[in-house]
Structure 1
């Protein structure tokens, strides 16, 4: 859920950082309230948005091969022997 495959993580973290900074500078909110706001915006919101809007997940691209070994696999074995 909270992974690199979730496209909502980076925007949520940036918004959370801005909200934390604004809460620090503009209000007298306690540290616990500010950290709670940061945790909700950076941790919970991306997961909820990913489920509601159907964003990408790490499971979708994990099954795809990274590269096709093809004929290059034999050449790689020969270079190791030398």
Structure 2
């Protein structure tokens, strides 16, 4: 699962996802490179992306949780599931 937006609220999502069996947070998407790096290091997230388009181009995720304004995820129009 990817997290879209790695600001303060993303920590709540990361903790909640960690408590679900079979769910792993494998990517972070954020326009602020410092927030992205800090979040991914804090929650052991292996992949970092500066845009939704870059995350989609890589693929290899089943779902995403949105912790951004809705306009940021307009490009997520594929078969991935979006949790808002």
* TM category, shorter: under 0.3
What is the TM-score normalised by the length of structure 1?
0.26
The structure carrying a bigger strand percent of its residues is: 2
- Larger Rg belongs to: 1
Higher relative contact order, structure no. (Cα contacts within 8 Å, ≥ 6 residues apart) = 1
